[in-house]
């Protein structure tokens, strides 16, 4: 495995890999890798001839006061883990390589970027869309891998891909969790022992909400209230949102319709650590609960 630091070298690698008949897979990350990231690399390795994993803590997706400076960084550890999982090229550029002096172009996406995360982290998705567009142009992949863990981000990336005609196959991989259900995240290291012990509550709230829907509940407000009540079992938890939405549009339906795919979305603080999680639920197309008017 090779560590590449410049866009020009990465483009050269990708172009020659493709000229030799390989498909190229891209796994963008901000590093401090865990099994969630590695699952993306392993999936890419199965589906592509060459895998590029990128490590770039992107300043433009952090707001002032967020954890850009303190975000965990360990290039040596990450490059080892990435190669063991099947990475061929590890792209770890300096900030100035991605945003050279005088850089003045960015992507601004409206619509889905303004909901949920967008209400709490206003410039976040424009920063994500901009850096991912740059990584797409630097790596020129056939396929790019993203985790369902950042559900709204996957919608943003798919929209970026189609709006900007990248023509990349966007693959969304399932959420990898700890034994108690906590979604793996580089930020979990911020949790102290006591906080870590209760952090499984997000998964528990999602599971209970899913079970309610499976038993026939179709009212969005009722499901929201259940999630809120469950999360509040943790004293001092601070909710940004715990909500249901249409999985494609992120609109909030009053009642879930037959055949509709719903996403349950949670963002909350335990102590100073902001955690997000989500789950997808498909409402049956022939929904006897709906016909019963429950």
Q: Is 37 a catalytic residue?
A: yes
- For the bound state, the minimum distance from the C-beta of residue 149 to ligand AMP, rounded and expressed in Å, comes to 4
Contact residue for ligand AMP among 184, 206, 247, 264 (CB under 6 A): 184
Residues composing the chain:
294
- For the bound state, the minimum distance from the C-beta of residue 25 to ligand AMP, rounded and expressed in Å, comes to 13
Helices marked H in 149-270: 151-163, 193-198, 201-214, 220-231
**For the purposes of burial, counting CB atoms within 10 Å of the CB of 255, is it exposed (0-12), middle (13-18) or buried (19 or more)?**
middle
Closer Cβ to ligand AMP, 175 or 237, answer by number: 175
Q: How many residues bind ligand AMP (CB under 6 A)?
A: 17
Q: Is 79 in the site for ligand AMP (CB under 6 A)?
A: no
Closer Cβ to ligand AMP, 223 or 279, answer by number: 279
Strand partners, 216: none
DSSP single-letter state for residue 111? S
Please, which of residues 114-173 interact with ligand AMP by CB under 6 A? 146-147, 149-150, 173
Q: Is 281 in the site for ligand AMP (CB under 6 A)?
A: no
Strand partners, 146: 172
The strands making up 143-147's β-sheet, listed across from edge to edge, are 2-4, 89-91, 50-55, 24-29, 143-147, 169-173
Contact residue for ligand AMP among 186, 195, 273, 278 (CB under 6 A): 186
Strand partners, 172: 146
Name the token pair of 34.
């865990």
Q: Is 185 in the site for ligand AMP (CB under 6 A)?
A: yes
- For the bound state, the minimum distance from the C-beta of residue 217 to ligand AMP, rounded and expressed in Å, comes to 27
- For the bound state, the minimum distance from the C-beta of residue 229 to ligand AMP, rounded and expressed in Å, comes to 25
Q: Is 60 in the site for ligand AMP (CB under 6 A)?
A: no
Nearest CA to 95 among 135, 57, 66, 40? 57
Binding part of the chain for ligand AMP, among 3-11, 32-40, 76-84, 233-241 by CB under 6 A, reads 32-40
Contact residue for ligand AMP among 175, 191, 199, 267 (CB under 6 A): 175
- For the bound state, the minimum distance from the C-beta of residue 38 to ligand AMP, rounded and expressed in Å, comes to 9
Tell me the HSE value of 125 on the side-chain side, using a 13 A CA sphere: 25
Strands (E), the chain: 2-4, 24-29, 50-55, 89-91, 143-147, 169-173, 238-246, 261-270, 273-282
User: Residues 22, 34, 37, 124: which is the catalytic one?
Assistant: 37
Binding site for ligand AMP (CB under 6 A): 29-30, 36-37, 39-40, 146-147, 149-150, 173, 175-176, 183-186
Residues labelled catalytic = 37
């Amino acid at each position: 495995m090779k560590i590449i630091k410049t866009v020009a070298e990465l483009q050269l690698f990708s172009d020659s890999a493709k000229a030799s008949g390989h498909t190229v897979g891209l796994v963008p990350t901000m590093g401090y890798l865990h099994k969630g990231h590695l699952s993306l690399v392993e999936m890419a390795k199965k589906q592509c001839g060459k895998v590029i994993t990128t490590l770039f803590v992107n300043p433009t997706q952090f707001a002032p006061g967020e954890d850009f400076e303190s975000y965990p960084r360990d290039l040596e550890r990450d490059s080892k883990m990435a190669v063991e999982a099947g990475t061929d090229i590890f792209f770890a550029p300096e900030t100035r390589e991605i945003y050279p002096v005088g850089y003045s172009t960015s992507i601004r996406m409206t619509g889905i970027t303004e909901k949920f995360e967008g209400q709490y982290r206003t410039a976040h998705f424009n920063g994500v869309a901009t850096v991912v567009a740059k990584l797409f142009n630097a790596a020129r992949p056939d396929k790019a891998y993203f985790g369902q863990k950042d559900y709204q981000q996957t919608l943003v990336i798919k929209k970026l891909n189609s709006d900007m005609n990248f023509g990349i196959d966007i693959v969304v991989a399932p959420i990898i969790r700890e034994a108690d259900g906590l979604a793996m995240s580089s930020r979990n290291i911020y949790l102290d022992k006591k906080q870590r012990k209760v952090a499984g509550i997000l998964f528990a709230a999602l599971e209970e909400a899913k079970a309610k829907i499976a038993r026939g509940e179709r009212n969005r407000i009722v499901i929201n209230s259940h999630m809120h009540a469950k999360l509040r079992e943790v004293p001092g938890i601070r909710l940004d949102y715990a909500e249901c939405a249409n999985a494609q549009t992120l609109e909030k339906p009053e009642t879930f319709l037959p055949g509709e795919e719903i996403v349950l979305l949670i963002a909350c603080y335990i102590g100073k650590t902001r955690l997000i999680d989500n789950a997808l639920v498909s409402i049956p197309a022939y929904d006897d609960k709906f016909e019963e008017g429950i």
